Structure 1
Amino acid sequence: MAARGFSLFTGNTAGRKIYPGNLYTATKWAVTGLAESLRRQLVGTGVRVSVIAPGHVDTQLWAERPDAMMEADDVARAVMWVLAQLALINVSEMITRALGQEL
């Protein structure tokens, strides 16, 4: 079957951890659930659904910078890899972390 579309969601490894009272992590977990629900609804249509869940990315948003961080270009390369897969392959979820990132 030829690919008929692609839906790519941006999650985060923060959605895999529990931080009581932290709404950001809850929204990232919700993204993962939404994408999986959509993927299941679209089985057989040729539409692929993926979640990219990067770990710490070097941005200005960090109050305290972790030691291990990826660059934005690293995440972009992961996205391009997912999009470049054959039409019969669906990468449901890709979790990427900088080497040395603890959580």
Structure 2
Amino acid sequence: MSDINLPEAVGSFVAAANAHDAEALFGVFADGAVVRDDGSTLTGEAEIRGWIQSHMIGPRVVLSPTPFEDGRLVASSNADLPGGPWPFAFDFVTKDNRVSALTITQA
């Protein structure tokens, strides 16, 4: 990650995800944030915390970022699941160094 210059909120997201730190990961999201992943739109603390636990912390996701441009981070994602690593695109909208919207799709 040191070769890639990431905005603060995006760098914090990657660091917290890779540390498997659910509290720090939730802390990168702004009040009213929206997460779109796996065909679902998640809002509110309970839904986003549930997504963090089931999609990031539980499977022990590790993100290896590649390019970042115009709010989009492409990363190789590995986890304690068969078949990885998988390429994903993370489209971030940030404000005041926090994530206000995140959409995740396969890259």
TM-score normalized by structure 1?
0.26
Which has more strand, going by share of residues?
2
Q: Identify which of structures 1 and 2 has the higher relative contact order when contacts are C-alpha pairs closer than 8 Å and 6+ apart.
A: 1
TM-score normalized by structure 2?
0.26
Structure having the higher Rg:
1
Which has more helix, going by share of residues?
1
